[in-house]
């Protein structure tokens, strides 16, 4: 009997909440004079990150009205309409997992490819600056919204996070512009402006500041869109992208042995990982508990995303692929073929040539056992630089992650450095 009464009440409360959010959004939209086209409805929550940016709540929005208006002007003006054969791929990874290398496979498919390298760098930087810390919920929303717009060739939301704010959609500050072939193509290359300092220059040709209107127009002509990011924490947060009828999105999650990742980070980000090093060298101080917690948190995020992906819920069916960096390093061409096939993007001779050249697998020796053995030694090199006691900490913090991805535990220093034992189990991840 109780159920009869509770359901309508809950329903009513939900309606009130939804209605309230809609009203706020339409009020904000009215104020900002946003153009809404039928294909690009503003989504509830679309402003949450911007509100956070200015550290004000909705009622106080008018204070920042002018800035907001400028930032959101022509939001969603350039967007693509759905077209058959268009593919959208998000390469999800974490730092030091080889994602730049794997991203480059796609970047090399340059003639029909829109490839972006870490656009969310700007979002993370701005949110961190503005709030003095990161709010995971707000970041996740901002990341998702920016990605969604970028896949639709719309840079305006990303623009709002670029510092300094682009003027007339022109910027000299896009993070690692030169890492996207697409952004240095003739059609996106504006004339060089004397005296304008550009942080990230094109390597292939001399270009002036980046005109994002040109980038957007050129993007609309490309069939394949690939974005690489090390910033998305949970695959589940990206579910709305799978529900957008304008997108045909696939996710490739790239993972690597967490022990190897830590070994690599200790070198690449030496200052940040100083306490690990000191502890490993036998310093007096015990290992910082927060560091271990962070490590565990990272591993758990990666594992939870993979668990969602491998479970294949209906919204992800056929859209998720898990790849281990170790497999790519050992069998680059085979794994590249699988990734391109999964993405529905043709693997061009140009891409193949690049892979051959950059994996030192020459045509004559590919498939030969000795070559493979050499590559696998390379991929397990960390075993001779990571102290055993750190490997143990990682195994404790990231046990379930190691297990899921098929990385063998080591029980002694001897086992860690025993070349005859591979720590990579053969594992096929069915999708």
Ligand X SMILES: *[C@@H]1O[C@H](CO)[C@@H](O)[C@H](O)[C@H]1NC(C)=O
Q: Which residues bind to ligand X, rule: CB under 6 A?
A: 48, 52, 73-74, 135, 137-138, 168, 170, 190, 211, 213-214, 217
Query: Whose CA is closest to 228, among 180, 284, 279, 272?
Result: 180
- State the minimum distance, in angstroms, from the CB of residue 209 to ligand X: 8
DSSP 168: T
- Pick 135 or 348: Cβ nearer ligand X: 135
Considering beta carbons, is residue 196 or 267 the nearer one to ligand X?
196
Q: Shortest gap between Cβ of 302 and ligand X (angstroms)?
A: 22
**β pairing state of 170-171 and 320-324:** unpaired
To ligand X, the closest distance from the beta carbon of 8 in angstroms equals: 27
Closer to ligand X by Cβ: residue 195 or 318: 195
Q: How far is the CB of 191 from ligand X (least distance, A)?
A: 8
* Residue entry with tokens 């962070």: 294
Q: How far is the CB of 38 from ligand X (least distance, A)?
A: 17
The angle that helices 332-343 and 99-107 make with each other, rounded to 10 degrees, is 60
Asked if 183 and 217 touch (Cβ cutoff 8 Å), the reply is no
DSSP E strand stretches across 256-412: 320-324
Q: Reduced to 3 states, what is the DSSP secondary structure of residue 210?
A: strand
Of 354, 333, 335, residue with least CA distance to 104 = 354
Q: How far apart are CA 47 and CA 142, in angstroms?
A: 9
Residue 59 CB, shortest distance to ligand X, in Å, is 15
Tokens at 136, concatenated:
């995971």
Q: Which is nearer to ligand X, 76 or 253 (CB)?
A: 76
Pick 139 or 395: Cβ nearer ligand X: 139
Q: Considering the complex, what minimum distance in angstroms separates the CB of residue 45 from ligand X?
A: 8
Which residue, 74 or 365, has its beta carbon nearer to ligand X? 74
Count of beta carbons in the 10 Å neighbourhood of residue 293: 11
Nearer to ligand X, 220 or 292 (CB): 220
SS (H, E, C) 215-276: HHHHHHCCCEEEEEECCCCCHHHHHHHHCCCCCCEEEEEEECCHHHHHHHHHHHCCCCCHHH
């Amino acid at each position: 009997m109780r159920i009869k009464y509770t359901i309508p009440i809950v329903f009513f409360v939900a309606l009130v909440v939804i209605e309230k959010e809609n009203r706020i959004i339409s009020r904000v939209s009215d104020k900002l004079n946003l153009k809404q086209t039928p294909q690009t409805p503003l989504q509830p929550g679309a402003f949450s990150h911007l509100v956070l940016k200015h550290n004000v709540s909705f009622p106080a929005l008018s204070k920042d009205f002018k800035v907001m208006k400028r930032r959101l002007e022509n939001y969603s003006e350039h967007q693509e309409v759905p077209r058959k054969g268009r593919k959208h791929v998000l390469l999800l990874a974490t730092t030091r997992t080889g994602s730049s290398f794997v991203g480059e496979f796609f970047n090399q498919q340059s003639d029909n490819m829109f490839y972006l390298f870490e656009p969310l760098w700007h979002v993370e930087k701005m949110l961190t600056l503005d709030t003095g810390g990161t709010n995971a919920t707000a970041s996740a929303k901002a990341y998702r919204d920016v990605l969604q717009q970028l896949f639709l060739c719309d840079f305006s939301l990303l623009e709002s996070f670029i510092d300094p704010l682009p003027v007339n959609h022109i910027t000299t500050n896009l993070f690692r512009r030169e890492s996207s072939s697409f952004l240095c193509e003739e059609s996106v290359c504006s004339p060089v402006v004397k005296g304008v300092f550009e942080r990230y220059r094109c390597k292939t040709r001399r270009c002036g500041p980046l005109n994002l209107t040109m980038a957007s127009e050129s993007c609309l002509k490309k069939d394949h869109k690939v974005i690489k990011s090390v910033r998305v924490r949970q695959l589940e947060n990206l579910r709305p992208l799978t529900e957008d009828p304008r997108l045909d999105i696939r996710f490739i999650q790239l993972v690597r042995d967490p022990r190897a990742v830590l070994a690599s980070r200790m070198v690449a980000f030496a200052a940040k990982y100083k306490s690990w090093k000191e502890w490993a060298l036998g310093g007096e101080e015990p290992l910082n508990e927060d560091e271990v917690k962070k490590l565990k948190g990272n591993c758990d995020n990666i594992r939870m995303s993979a668990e969602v992906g491998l479970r294949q819920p209906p919204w992800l069916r056929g859209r998720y692929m898990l790849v281990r960096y170790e497999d790519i390093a050992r069998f680059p061409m085979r794994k590249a073929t699988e990734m391109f096939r999964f993405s529905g993007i043709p693997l061009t001779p140009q891409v193949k040539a690049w892979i051959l050249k950059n994996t030192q697998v020459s045509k004559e020796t590919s498939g030969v056992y000795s070559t493979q053995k050499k590559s696998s030694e390379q991929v397990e090199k960390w075993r001779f630089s990571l102290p055993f006691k750190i490997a143990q900490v990682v195994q404790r913090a990231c046990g379930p992650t190691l297990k899921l991805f098929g990385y063998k535990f080591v029980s002694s220093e001897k086992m860690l450095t025993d070349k005859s034992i591979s720590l990579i189990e053969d594992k096929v991840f069915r999708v």
